[in-house]
Structure 1
Amino acid sequence: MRLRREQIVATALRLLDDVGLDALTMRRLGQELDVQAATLYWHVQNKEELLDAMAEAMLAGCADGAPEGLSWVERAAELAERLRRALLAHRDGARVFAGTYVAQDNTLRFSDTLVGALRDGGLSARAAAWGCWTIVYYVIGFTLEEQALAGRPGKGPGKGDPERFREALERGAYPHLGATLPHLVSADLDARFRYGLQLLLKGLEAEPEATPPAKARTRPTQADDKRRASRRSG
């Protein structure tokens, strides 16, 4: 059977889930596909191009069926949630996605939809573009930490184990950390993600470059007519 690029990318994502990004090499991918590594280079020039293709594949469907009837803030939040879910769907997904600059359909449609939501909020072209980047960077950064701190199944607790943090606080005087400890070690990552996202979106709502809504034009009242007539006669 002729090897196809889509088959290579799908196998790479499956292998990523099995062994993680550090162990994902072109040689190992070739072994998984039962081909020589050199054969892969007919379809992807190098590992960087492979990672770009994997990042593009992870975003499949993220911009589809954009919810209607929501405010621009709610639409932007929904898109950010979709991006996070897409990255969490694969082991080291955020690491794969970080640093890629893919100019392909899934990525471009997602970005276009997010920028469109921000522009519907009255943001200028610059504010919408940079606001889009800021949201994407927040999602990547949060998810990078989320995946780095999580334990792997069967491997015990990960680096984010609350007990490790509590033990460290007991060895020194950190009154402010101690006072906020329950929140610092909260396992409700969904709530933590949404809290930060809402802070970001509230900042964009207050963006000074936003176009103010047009004022409704009202018909002059009788009192307005009298004031204008008085000014003319004076």
Structure 2
Amino acid sequence: MPRAALTREEVLDTAAELVKQHGPDALTMRKLAAELGSAVTSIYWHVGNRESLLDALVERTVQEMGAIRPTGRTPAARIVSLARGLRRELRARPHLIAMVHEHGLTERMFLPVRRTLVREVHAAGLRGSRAADAVRAVQFQIVGFVLVERNRERAPVQSPAEEELWTGATADEDPALARALARPADPERLFTLSVEALVTSLLA
């Protein structure tokens, strides 16, 4: 029996979850109705057709990405926190971000974060082209790191594996380095380390 009192937000929440897990191709009105325990006609009433639904998901994703806020006592700390938050959100919704890109709204999506970065680099005393370089460098670092992560995750199994390649000889007779490179990377720690080093250099 179809459920009552379905809301637009519930439809968008469930549709976003389906896209997050399986990609936009898996989002059909029939499947969405089944997930919601509702009639397809009720979904059409709330969000229109499938294209309208996808447009609404894109717009909502743009708004959500604009809600990322920095924390910390110094401009450097706030920039690092903003970078970590943006990376986390990009990784949490790759299919939705891809839809935003396909709709030509990537620059608009990043604008709120970039404006926040502008405020922080201004607070650190940078102006003009130096401030612009800092904003772009941080954004490129975040997006580039996420792309590398995604490519590594989707890559086929490597043979030989990374841990098999590093020995004293391949590490210039630095056994500690070889052991460290043979262990799996910690992306969160590496990301924070790289952003902190970049921000420290940019704000110096």
TM-score normalized with structure 2 length: 0.65
| Corresponding residue number in structure 2 for 1:62 | 68
Contact 2:83 2:138 in 1 (8 A): yes
- 1:5-60 Cα distance to aligned partner (Å, 9 max, x none): x56653343113322x4xx22x7343333458x8123x26xx6x567436425426
Contact 2:20 2:94 in 1 (8 A): yes
- 1:170-217 Cα distance to aligned partner (Å, 9 max, x none): 7x99723885442364432222111111221122124xxxxxxxxxxx
CA RMSD of aligned residues (A): 4.0
| Corresponding residue number in structure 1 for 2:108 | 103
| Corresponding residue number in structure 2 for 1:89 | 92
Contact 1:62 1:82 in 2 (8 A): yes
After superposition, residues 145-224 of structure 1 pair within 5 angstroms as: 145-150=148-153, 164-167=161-164, 169=165, 175-176=170-171, 179=174, 180-181=177-178, 182-183=180-181, 185-206=183-204
| Corresponding residue number in structure 2 for 1:11 | 14
Paired AA for residue 129 in structure 1: A
Q: 1:199 to 1:97 in 2, by over 3 A?
A: farther
| Corresponding residue number in structure 2 for 1:217 | none
Question: 2: CA distance between counterparts of 1:93 and 1:80?
Answer: 19
Question: 1: CA distance between counterparts of 2:158 and 2:67?
Answer: 33
Question: 2: CA distance between counterparts of 1:178 and 1:61?
Answer: 48
Larger Rg, first or second structure (1 or 2): 1
Aligned residues: 183
| Corresponding residue number in structure 2 for 1:39 | 49
Q: 1:57 to 1:109 in 2, by over 3 A?
A: closer
- 1:90-124 Cα distance to aligned partner (Å, 9 max, x none): 355765676852536xx543322221001111112
Question: 2: CA distance between counterparts of 1:183 and 1:12?
Answer: 41
Query: Percent identity of the aligned residues?
Result: 20
| Corresponding residue number in structure 2 for 1:121 | 124
| Corresponding residue number in structure 2 for 1:73 | 76
**Structure 1 residue 163 displacement after superposition:** 7.2
Question: 2: CA distance between counterparts of 1:137 and 1:11?
Answer: 31
**Structure 1 residue 137 displacement after superposition:** 2.0
Paired AA for residue 72 in structure 1: P
**Structure 1 residue 77 displacement after superposition:** 0.8
Contact 1:73 1:201 in 2 (8 A): yes
Question: 1: CA distance between counterparts of 2:173 and 2:145?
Answer: 23
Paired AA for residue 203 in structure 1: S
Paired AA for residue 130 in structure 2: A
Contact 2:162 2:182 in 1 (8 A): no
Contact 1:17 1:91 in 2 (8 A): yes
Which of 140, 145, 148 aligns to 1:142? It is 145
Question: 1: CA distance between counterparts of 2:159 and 2:201?
Answer: 31
| Corresponding residue number in structure 1 for 2:37 | none
**Structure 1 residue 87 displacement after superposition:** 2.1
Question: 1: CA distance between counterparts of 2:136 and 2:81?
Answer: 16
Q: 1:29 to 1:120 in 2, by over 3 A?
A: farther
